[in-house]
Amino acid sequence: MMDLKGPAITDDEKRFLLNPGVGGVILFSRNIVDSVQLEELCREIHSMRSPALLISIDHEGGRVQRLTCGVTPLPAMSRLGDLAEHSGLSRAIEAARSIGNLVGSELSDLGIDINFSPCLDIEYHRSDVIGDRAIHGNPNWVGAIGYAIWSSMDEFGVSGVAKHFPGHGWAVNDTHVAVAEDLRDQSAIASDLVPFQQLISAGLKGIMPAHCIYPMHDSNPAGYSDYWIRKVLRNDMGFAGAVISDSLSMRAAHEAGSMVQRILASQSAGVDMQLVCNDRCGLEAALIVTETFPYRPGLEARLESLRPVKKQKLSKAARADALRFVEICEQLTRTDQHHRG
């Protein structure tokens, strides 16, 4: 999966997108001018291949929203956890489901297939890069609210990819710029797996591993780890869907070497699709190497399972409910800021 440099596809990018080694595109803010332009861009990308390339985006809410035009601005997902504390878990689940419906409807209407959300990391108040992206510190609440977000997006035509397996909440460093380690043992990390297991048991089709290292288990980052991907995720937890790497351009991913070496390490660990951003030379070299990769049984089916089917349209009443919940969450944000100020 590759990125684009701007709001229009260049001739060079068309060449990459027609390569069978590329399976999709991730969109960033730099690719978006307005909703009309974005719809046309998505149509062009989808028309280039059959089956169509998958189009993805990070649209969690709060500070992780690449898309700001043509959609409803979302609160940070921690506000759903706050709502659970203020009004009860069932109320937060209702809000999460309603907001997930809105997200699925709006992204699907624009032509986006995959949202790298929900974030299932546990809030330990240690990681600034996770912070208010985490729903809550209670793993069962994270699973219940995360399930509501994921399943409701899916109902309206967008596949959710849960992240960052097996959990980024404890590791302090930001993997975008540094190596991050989680030094806990298996019994301590078990609670971080709870929300992932809840969604896997419900039929989750996509997971993104963390670039964190868990030295008590493996010396490799989770996304390069046969232990985490094959043993824990596939065998122990029964995940049969697609595993998509976090960006291999992130600093913590550099531990494996060059971009080609990172892709090889990722594929060797059992990751299905590699996210290559901001590195055209690395992408070019990787596509040459991927032509010699051995056949991986079930790969096409796992990736195809991420292709969403839009089951319904969002009614005016459902949209009004979602906007009401967004405002409730925003009010919690303002109240929190007032107390801190």
DSSP state, 48? T
Taking the C-alpha atoms of residue 4 and residue 17, their distance in angstroms, rounded to an integer, is 10
Give the pairing type, strands 59-61 and 64-65: antiparallel
185 is catalytic: no
3-state secondary structure 89-108: HHHHHHHHHHHHHHHHHHHH
Q: Which of 176, 226, 254, 336 is catalytic?
A: 176
Which distant-in-sequence residues (6+ apart) come within 8 Å of 264 by Cβ? 256, 289
246 is catalytic: yes
* Residue of 231, 237, 229, 216 whose CA lies nearest to 274: 229
Strands (E), the chain: 24-27, 54-57, 59-61, 64-65, 114-115, 159-160, 162-165, 206-209, 213-214, 218-221, 242-247, 273-275
Q: Which of 121, 132, 246, 279 is catalytic?
A: 246
Structure tokens at 225: 């780890």
Contact 66, 59 (CB under 8 A): yes
Catalytic residue list: 176, 246
